[in-house]
Structure 1
Amino acid sequence: MRMAVFDDIIDSLFETSGTLVALFDPQDILRRSNAAFRDAYGLAEDETLSWAQIVRRNFEQRRGVAFTTDDFEHWLTSARSRRGKIPYRAFETDITDGRWLWMTETVSPAGWMLCIASDITELRTGERSLRQDRDSARKASQTDELTGISNRRHCMSVLQETVAKANKNGAGEACAVLLDIDRFKQINDSFGHQFGDAVLIDFATSVQRNLRPADSFGRVGGEEFMLVLPQLGPAAAELLIERLFKQVGRPGCLPSQPNFHYSFSAGLTLIRPGDTPAEVYRRADAALYEAKMGGRGRQMSA
């Protein structure tokens, strides 16, 4: 059989399969999908939207993803903190036409993601309930309840995996960054803890909005957060942090206090072959301390 004929058969089967299939590039833009996927998520054949654009439109049109919240931005921040962060994950999800799907995400070393979803609506209700309970428990174990991003446990797991990759092949660059909201105790004392929580949520949402799909971001304690940036050297990481300085905590970020603004400090370190997660964290923490002592609202490297 000639390769051209074989390719035509594969293309035909791909397009007509009842299984939902989609391919996203490293920037999380949809590059190919079959009819089943497009029908489920309300897409035209020639659309090349990002995943965030797809789910945002689903939310606005009440089609596709079955949302259980009215706070889309918080949902998006939480979903982005998990999407594409590990080579493979599987989970159960539902869509607005009443179907339940078993979704898998497979991520290549270059950052391409293959999404495959099978209809599991006909599974026994009890079995589906067990799956939901398991997925909910897994999500809860990885997610910070207040901000919706990764919690300390998940952050350290991602850091450990990134360090292991650096030790295994020594190829590519990666950085870790600790971020800390400046004078957070004063914010709590002046405006109250509920307002302080709003600052934490705004910070998490604002930072997450500026990250690549491959970047990991989580809250590691109090007002301290961590970034793990794969395939990004120190110079590029510094530029990212400078961009965050300009966009995060600006006046008007919280409507209840129009003149309020806040800043943060950052400690950056390169993940090197031979490192341990504890060593990486210690260096980033030392750099963060230096940034704090140097006047806050700045970044330092170690």
Structure 2
Amino acid sequence: MFAVFDENDVLVYANRLYREAFFLTEEEYPYWGDMMRRNFEARRGTVIGEADFDLWLKGTLSRRGKVPFRAFETDVHDGSWLWMTETVDEDGWMVCIASDITKLLVKDSVLRQERDIALRRSLTDDLTGIANRRFVMERLNDMIARDGVAANGRPGCFAILDLDNFKQVNDRFGHFSGDRLLIDFAREISLQVRRTDCFGRLGGEEFGLVLPATTGAEAIVIINRMLAQISSLRPFPDHPEFFYSCSAGVASVIPGEAQSELYARADEALYRAKSEGKNRVCVAEIAA
């Protein structure tokens, strides 16, 4: 089985075997998430071990396509097992290849499935369903290992996003509403993240965004668009007057820099964004 998805995860090519496995007609070129949702609702195609499809999709998209190559096993509703590989180029296009390995997994398929579920959960934030700190920091290390420079010569960036006045939200509406706000924020930002980026929760009301092959100027444009979207939301129907905002600090990768140094510079830029009035993005200065 063979398929190609573009940087927006829309199918651009699939051979006959792939279309048969995922119940696609010759005329269909869907968004990957829509294809998976349709098969989930029809109880066919890939087995999804979650009752809440939207929660599963959010967590999966926060990790899908974030590494240049990955291989994994997946089971199908017809009882077969597939060995899947995903190869992602620097522009975010993905090549998917699948092989039937059912005969190889007759004895230990259940154990393998439980192992894969446990691994996914270890990389997912329990509250928001997006990538957790561990996964974000692994992707940040990957970018630093490449000196933050892709083949096109553009450096990468790391951003820390922090909800403004979050304690006041908890004090006014309660911790349950605070959790709802974190979930709302994670969902909205996830919808704007590019295939090659990685977005996840670092802890509390703080989130991390890894932006490979992105200049500081480009990062500002991307994050300002995110902040504008957040400020336009009214997350609590019972309180239509309420809105919230977010501040961000961005640091461009310096070749040879340690992860802790990059993180500290992004954190310092976040502190400046907060002190200068919040609801804004600041870029870390590079010492001469």
Give the TM-score normalised by structure 2: 0.89
Identify the match of residue 95 of structure 2 among 114, 127, 137: 114
Q: Which one-letter code corresponds to 1:159 in the other structure?
A: L
Does 80-89 or 65-74 show the bigger shift? 65-74
For 1:79 and 1:211, locate their aligned partners in 2 and report how far apart those are by CA, in whole Å: 13
1:201 aligns with 2:175: no
Structure 1 counterpart of 2:173: 191
Partner of 1:89: 70
Q: Which residue of 1 aligns with 2:53?
A: 72
Aligned: 1:284 with 2:259 = no
Match of 2:155 among 173, 178, 203: 173
* Residue segments in structure 1 that go unaligned for 5+ positions in a row: 1-19
Q: 1:132 aligns with which of 89, 103, 113?
A: 113
Structure with higher helix content: 1
State how far apart, in whole Å, the 2-side matches of 1:269 and 1:62 are. 44
Q: Distance in 2 between matches of 1:251 and 1:217?
A: 20
* Paired-residue identity, %: 48
**Structure 1 residue 120, shift from structure 2 partner:** 3.5
- Are 2:162 and 1:164 aligned? no
Amino acid at match of 2:166: F
- After alignment, is 120-129 or 75-84 more displaced? 120-129
Indicate whether 1:152 and 2:133 are aligned.
yes
Q: How far apart are residue 300 of structure 1 and its match?
A: 0.7
Distance 1:282 1:140 in 2: 28
Q: C-alpha displacement at 1:128, in angstroms?
A: 0.8
Q: Deviations over 1:62-112 (max 9, x none)?
A: 543434445433222211111111122122323344433222212234433
**Per-residue deviation, 1:172:** 2.3
Matched with 2:27 is: 46
Question: Counterpart in 1 of 2:123?
Answer: 142
Query: Is structure 2 residue 247 aligned with structure 1 residue 265?
Result: yes
Q: CA deviation at 1:184?
A: 1.1
Tell me the CA shift for residue 57 of structure 1.
3.4
CA RMSD of aligned residues (A): 2.2
The structural deviation recorded for 1:251 is 3.9
Q: Does 1:34 align with 2:52?
A: no
Contact 1:167 1:274 in 2 (8 A): no
Confirm or deny: 8 A CA contact 2:11 2:32 kept in the other structure: yes
Kept in 1, the 8 Å contact 2:90–2:150? The answer is no
Render the CA deviation track for 1:105-131: whole Å, top value 9, x for unaligned. 122344332212223444555411221
Inter-partner Cα distance in structure 1 for 2:150 and 2:244: 40
Q: Give, as a single letter, the amino acid of the residue that structure 2 aligns with 1:115.
A: C
- Conserved 8 A contact 1:267-1:299: yes
Q: Does the CA contact (< 8 Å) of 2:158 and 2:253 recur in 1?
A: yes
Q: Are residue 233 (structure 1) and residue 245 (structure 2) matched?
A: no
Shift, 1:289, TM fit: 0.5
SS in 1 for 2:207: strand
- How many Å separate the matches in 1 of 2:212 and 2:150? 14
| Alpha-carbon shift at residue 161 of structure 1 (Å) | 0.8
Matched, 1:210 2:202: no
Partner of 1:23: helix, strand, or coil? strand
Query: Aligned partners of 1:238, 1:77: CA distance in 2, in Å?
Result: 24
Which one is further off, 154-163 or 100-109?
100-109
Q: The residue matched to 2:87 in structure 1 has which SS?
A: strand
Indicate how the Cα distance of structure 1 residues 99 and 261 shifts in structure 2: closer, same or farther if over 3 A, else same: farther
Shift of 1:48: 2.6
Letter in 2 for 1:202: D
Matched, 1:245 2:198: no
Q: Shift in Å at residue 61 of structure 1?
A: 4.8
Distance in 1 (CA, whole Å) between partners of 2:34 and 2:217 is 29
Runs of 5+ consecutive residues of structure 2 not aligned to the other structure: none
Alignment partner of 1:166: what SS?
coil
* Matching residue's letter, 2:218: A
Distance in 1 (CA, whole Å) between partners of 2:200 and 2:39 is 26
Q: Provide the C-alpha distance between the structure 2 equivalents of 1:248 and 1:126, rounded to a whole number of angstroms.
A: 49
Q: Quick one: which amino acid aligns to residue 80 of structure 1?
A: L
Gap change, CA 1:62 and 1:174, over 3 Å in 2: same
Output the CA distance in 2 between the equivalents of 1:177 and 1:124: 42
